Amino acid sequence: MPRILMTGASGGIGSSLRKLLPPIYPGLLLSDIKPPKDLSPNEKFKAADLSDLAQCEAICEGVDGILHFGGYSVEGSWEDILQANIIGGYNLFEAARKKGVKRVIFASSNHAVGFYPRHHKIGTDVTPRPDGRYGVSKVFGEAVGALYADKHGLKVTCLRIGNFGEMPLDHRRLAIWLKPEDLVQLCRIGLEHPDIHFEIFYGASLNERAWWDNHRAYEFGYRPTGRAEDFWQHAMDEQAKLKPDPVGDYYQGGAFCSIEFDADPSRIIDWSKR
């Protein structure tokens, strides 16, 4: 069995995958800057600060594949994003190269393309339109992944994750919801499929309202089981509790687009028609 490293083990996605992945990858090695509070004795954990290349190299030793969910997971200051996501992301790929890791799954985000309007369906080959510094860091990570695939032979899969959880929590998330078990499917494709070189997939379940063309994932065998419409009533009930957001309600990135937005709202541009 391949030895798999998962960064970001203490985060929301990492905490869920810690329960789902061990039956598939028994030698799973967990890492984060601090151990999970509920770490069990049978889980293997190595702490690492991703902004330190030497620490990244230490956790990559003897590893076959990496699930990179580590870093700063929300919008933040430039310094926070720079250290955790940009320097940390580069370090992770460089450490993987130096230690002979064969495959990397990079947790990108829908926020790499958040400034596309909701009415415009997009594929994975569109020009990035990040909706904040966090989104910029994900565009950077995808670019570094492409570089290391083409120049150094790493097999890299970038997952533009929508909203991960047990159910979609509002109207926007009906379009971008990702069931945990479906994320496991995408991870397995990236870690195991023989034809992976460099790919970008959208991390989304079977969502009838989807804004994304995810045909590449399906061509590699992706068959999601989660259906967002099964939770339509719950999502709409929660949506009714939210205040209107003219900017966030127009763009795919939602509230991330509204943060620090100081352009003229009347000049919201539909980039698909330019």
Question: What amino acid is encoded at 25 in this protein?
Answer: Y
Written as six digits, the tokens of 86 are: 């940009």
Contacts for 8 with CB less than 8 Å, ≥ 6 apart: 14, 31, 32, 68, 69, 70, 71, 73, 107
Which of 94, 51, 22, 203 shows the shortest CA–CA distance to 30? 22
Kindly state the helix (H) or strand (E) to which residue 204 belongs, with its residue range. Answer: none
CB 200 within 8 A of CB 216: yes
- Residues 225 and 28: their CA atoms lie apart, in Å, by 24
Assign residue 207 a region: left if phi > 0, alpha if psi is -120 to 50, beta otherwise? beta
CB 139 within 8 A of CB 130: yes
Distance of CA 133 to CAs 66, 117, 138, Å?
24, 19, 9
- Interhelix angle 133-152/88-98, rounded to 10 degrees, is 20
Question: Would you state the torsion angle of the CA atoms of residues 81, 84, 90, 93, taken in this order, to the nearest 10 degrees?
Answer: -140
Q: Residue 179 in 3-state DSSP?
A: coil
Written as six digits, the tokens of 28 are: 């799973």
- Residues 23 and 20: their CA atoms lie apart, in Å, by 7
134 is catalytic: yes
User: Which is catalytic among the residues 25, 90, 116, 134?
Assistant: 134
Q: So which residues are the catalytic ones?
A: 134
